[in-house]
Amino acid sequence: MADLIKIGVFPAPNQPLEPEIAAKICEIHGFIFEREKRDKDKGVHKEVEVIVEPQAPAAEPEDLLKTRPPIITIMGHVDHGKTSLLDYFRKTKITAGEAGGITQHIGAYQVIHHGQELTFLDTPGHAIFSDMRARGADITDIVVLVVAANDGIMPQTLEAIKHSKKANKTIIVAINKCDLPTSNVERVKSQLAENGLQTTDYGGDTEFAEVSALTGMGMDDLLDLMILQSEVLELKANPKGIARAAVIEARVVAGRGTTATVIIESGTLKVGTPFICGPYAGKVRSLINDRGVAVKSAHPGMPVEVIGFEELPNVGDHITEMKTEREAKALASERQEAQRLARLKPQHRNRMQDLYSMVRDGGGKAQLKLILKCDVQGSVEAIKKAVLAIESEKVDCSFITAAAGPITESDVSYASSTDAIILGFNVKVEAKAVKSAKAAGAEVKLYSVVYELIDQVREAMLGLLEPLTRETVIGHAEVRQIFKLNRGRVAGSFVTDGRVHRKAHARVIRGGIPVFDVACPRSAASKTKSKKSAPISNAVSA
């Protein structure tokens, strides 16, 4: 029990120990911990089989690599025409003579333009984009930024630009609604230039197309730009390697069970293939393409609906092919155990109060990452300017996002993935964001006075939030007699000044030198119902 307490484990009586904890105890006493497997016929024997995490090789042989379709995500502000753009591509595919209809809920589909396949994510917006990147599924190759010619740059447009740039993705701008009489393309281009997207006719490297998803104007030019960018990126994958795919959508369908829409990243996923996805194992029972047709295999860049999951996976989880179903289940068991142990450990997030200790322990500069949300854009600029003007030799401050509007679930997700602190000024937190913040352990601080916000950030950056320990003398007592008991010694004392509280700490001073500290001494006078502390001239035992 003493060894367990030393490593921070406090088990209940008769509680079995986890293998990791047992291994630590064995290491302390010089033993080697090995798992054993019991067999009814052969008795007990050591389990020597080791399940290795399947990983894709760092570099595939060049002769095995084949060109794959680009994976394109369409992002932009609400009501700027993202859905209209996707609907036009769907109609194009149907008129191109593809058999069957389009399965609207699969979450992704392919369009063939001039013999070239293009894979589109059917869930527009930056929410799924950031969720997938937070889990390591960074599968998007090209981002199409949709901007309405009559509205120009809007808050969600700026957020989409920041997400795309942080992910280092190729951006193609689609200036939509150019058929409207109120459209102003030149104003949109100048706004894009102000936000770091210099179009090609302005001397930059960002490709753009003037389109109208309603009339079809410029849509072929936009598709040509996507094909051109995919050729520049030289997107290739090995169709004969280990099958790997990223989950972009998952749900439970009546009659089918748990299904997920995935995009193949490498290898070829076939029916009957055992796989591991997150902490769960599975076996491919059926593959359905974006036209609702059952297929036997799926190649890199192809979106398919996979049936055969044990549990519902998360967006961004990876499907990885395993050699046997037995290995898949064994690895799933190990991952579930690791997740269970991780949930028992407290999650640490950057907090302003922790910055001083980070500087003291790390010996370098601490990083303070902030996400700022305000009621109006004017407050955003003023607060951001005031915070960046604070000079500190201990902390580097940077804004991940600074925008107007309420604190949303997307902000919490972004703060969780970047380990940032959310600051809100005169804004509310959406109900879903509150639940997400509690689950993720993200810190959200709200202010209604701008000076309080700036002062607290300044104190954190200057390291003034170091916890202070103060002592206050509330009384003195003189030891008159020592009594020996079975469980220790009792000092019979006489209070000379002040008071002696039951929950106070005491220090024994001999010859002006502290010789012993007593935590929470129990006074005899404090045990009475009428008195909770001993006044001057009372005799107490401590």
The tens digit of pLDDT for each residue in 283-296 reads: 999 999 888 889 99
| Domain ranges, residue 15 | 2-46
Q: Output 143 or 91, whichever has higher pLDDT.
A: 143
Residue after which a domain boundary falls, among 402, 426, 461: 461
Q: Are residues 224 and 259 in the same domain?
A: no
Residue 407 gets which letter from DSSP?
A: B
Q: Are residues 380 and 493 in the same domain?
A: no
pLDDT at residue number 161: 85
pLDDT at residue number 202: 80
Is there a contact between 463 and 394 (Cβ–Cβ < 8 Å)? Answer: yes
pLDDT at residue number 54: 59
Total number of domains constituting the chain: 5
Residue after which a domain boundary falls, among 312, 344, 376: 344
Does pLDDT of 325 surpass 70? Answer: yes
Q: Are residues 292 and 396 in the same domain?
A: no
pLDDT at residue number 159: 77
Q: Are residues 364 and 431 in the same domain?
A: yes
Residue 500 exposure: Cα atoms within 13 Å on the Cβ side: 29
Ramachandran area for residue 444 (φ above 0: left; ψ -120 to 50: alpha; else beta): beta
Q: Are residues 161 and 279 in the same domain?
A: no
pLDDT at residue number 276: 92
Residue after which a domain boundary falls, among 186, 207, 236: 236
Calculate mean pLDDT across residues 388-396: 79
Burial of 129 (0-12, 13-18, 19+ CB in 10 A): buried
The tens digit of pLDDT for each residue in 57-93 reads: 556 677 788 889 999 988 888 788 887 888 888 775 5
Confidence of residue 299 (pLDDT cuts 50, 70, 90): very high
pLDDT at residue number 20: 74
Q: Output 90 or 49, whichever has higher pLDDT.
A: 90
pTM: 0.59
Q: Are residues 431 and 500 in the same domain?
A: no
CATH number of the domain within which 197 lies: 3.40.50.300
Q: Are residues 95 and 202 in the same domain?
A: yes
Does pLDDT of 45 surpass 70? Answer: no
- Tell me, yes or no, whether 61 lies in a domain: no
- Cα maximum dimension of the chain: 103
Does pLDDT of 306 surpass 90? Answer: yes
Q: Are residues 506 and 427 in the same domain?
A: no
